[in-house]
Structure 1
Amino acid sequence: MSLALSRLLQLASPALPVGAYTYSQGLEWAVEAGLVKDQAAALEWIARLLENGVSRFEAPLTACLQRAWIAADDYEVKRLNADFLASRESSELRAETVQMGYSLRRLLHELDDFPLPPAFDSLPEVSFPVGWALAAASWEIAIADSLTAYLWSWCENQTMAALKTVPLGQAAGQRILLALGRRLPAVAQQALELPEERWSNFAPGLALASSRHETQYSRLFRS
């Protein structure tokens, strides 16, 4: 097994201490509103957001961030970080990526023999994709592999949120992940090939769900 693969598994692991498990990205409100109430509805919600939202903005941006770190293009890193922060359509979605980015930056500082470029610490706020892309670049993980793992980690977190809130059983969660996993190769390839002029974070359902979640009376998740 290559070292890059073991590093990639570590990066994508739920054990990565960045707090991803505390966020549902509006899914908790969708459950509260009755839009997601069983396995089929959970799969549809997650898959649509994956294919029509994450794959068209967050995923290609993350891939470009890794290329920028490899090229030591500090200006491009700064620009893409600012673009991602500006793209978050609710205060809790923005707070989510800033908190996860902060936690990942702190973790990378605490790892042995992990060189951090000065540009990383010069950013006042670090979005999570910036830290992920830096780790992947530093560990010499192929961009296609790191992006697939990034998307898998996102799908896994959404599925775990569905298990807790719908609620669903463990077998249902695995069926959802199997179905999402079949889509990931095409989604990752699309993101790698999508030119920036065609990026779009237009996902009104996510924006509404997240905004309404901010005032939801009873909730388990921070987004």
Structure 2
Amino acid sequence: MAKAAALPLARLLQLASPALPVGAYSYSQGLESAVEAGVVHDRASAQQWINDVAALSLARWELPLLAKLIAAWQGGPDAAMINARFLASRESAELRAETVQMGYSLARLAAQLEIPRHEELEAIEEPVFPTAFAFFVAAWKLPVREALSAYLWSWMENAVMAAVKCVPLGQTDAQRALLDLGDHIDTLVTEALDLDEDAMAPSLPRMALLSARHETQYSRLFRS
């Protein structure tokens, strides 16, 4: 039983790992623009930014759609339709390019690892990252709640590491931020799973504007 329980955990850790070859480290999702604008300037403001994005965007939009995508790959509604819905929600060219590039990379990995039914993922014209992530969750028969937690943790970790580079933050401050942010994961996942369809929507206009401004920012470390 212990061995059976350990395998899904190992698969979730693999999906959430910075070693996943999708290039997540090269994106800041508007954080670099927030630093340039002075909105983010220390650990407290960086942590607030990351927590706000998690609460107002991921928990209210990305995570609920991820749950729907997992259900789709398990035999529910058409994943391509949900994929198009998420793609249409990306407010800037950089945010759109980010999720398409990461989704393409993860779909290619599925083919290289010969994951069953990977052809169905490749058949989607522009698979976004949540679609590809959900495909792996369904293929590996991973629990949905834990998969959403792993997805959110991976996003938080990447956001904090982006803050380390562009705020900049020290490694100890980064670990303090991760400790605090991690405390919110269970609450945010619960909110995402309980959210009504009519209430699903991202609500971060300032992030969208800063992301668009990043496209012409003079000095950049990140692609978004």
State the TM-score, normalized to the length of structure 2.
0.96
User: Contact 2:111/2:119 (CA < 8 Å) preserved in 1?
Assistant: no
Equivalent in the alignment of 2:16: 12
User: Contact 2:149/2:185 (CA < 8 Å) preserved in 1?
Assistant: yes
Q: Confirm whether residue 136 of structure 1 aligns to residue 140 of structure 2.
A: no
Measure how far apart 1:196 and its partner are: 1.6
Structure 1 segments (4+ residues) deviating >4 Å: none
Q: Secondary structure at the match of 1:18?
A: coil
Equivalent in the alignment of 2:113: 111
- The separation in 1 between residues aligned to 2:185 and 2:40, in whole angstroms, is 22
Equivalent in the alignment of 1:151: 152
Q: Secondary structure at the match of 1:36?
A: coil
Q: Secondary structure at the match of 1:57?
A: helix
The two structures, once aligned, show a CA RMSD in angstroms of: 1.0
User: Contact 2:111/2:118 (CA < 8 Å) preserved in 1?
Assistant: no
Equivalent in the alignment of 1:205: 206
Which blocks of at least 5 consecutive residues in structure 2 are unaligned?
Answer: none
Measure how far apart 1:205 and its partner are: 1.4
Equivalent in the alignment of 1:92: 94
In the TM superposition, what whole-angstrom CA distance separates every residue of 1:137-181 from its partner, at most 9, and x where no partner exists? 111110000000000000001000000001110000001001110
Measure how far apart 1:131 and its partner are: 0.4
Equivalent in the alignment of 1:32: 36
User: Contact 2:100/2:127 (CA < 8 Å) preserved in 1?
Assistant: yes
The residue identity in structure 1 corresponding to 2:86 is: F
Percent identity between matched residues is 54
- The separation in 1 between residues aligned to 2:113 and 2:122, in whole angstroms, is 15
Equivalent in the alignment of 1:52: 56
Q: Secondary structure at the match of 2:201?
A: coil
- The separation in 2 between residues aligned to 1:146 and 1:125, in whole angstroms, is 22
Q: Secondary structure at the match of 2:87?
A: helix
In the TM superposition, what whole-angstrom CA distance separates every residue of 1:25-60 from its partner, at most 9, and x where no partner exists? 000011111111100000011001111111100110
Q: Secondary structure at the match of 2:78?
A: helix
Measure how far apart 1:202 and its partner are: 2.2
The residue identity in structure 2 corresponding to 1:133 is: A
Q: Secondary structure at the match of 2:29?
A: coil
The residue identity in structure 2 corresponding to 1:185 is: D
Measure how far apart 1:209 and its partner are: 1.0
Measure how far apart 1:119 and its partner are: 2.8
- The separation in 1 between residues aligned to 2:158 and 2:50, in whole angstroms, is 10
User: Contact 2:103/2:129 (CA < 8 Å) preserved in 1?
Assistant: yes
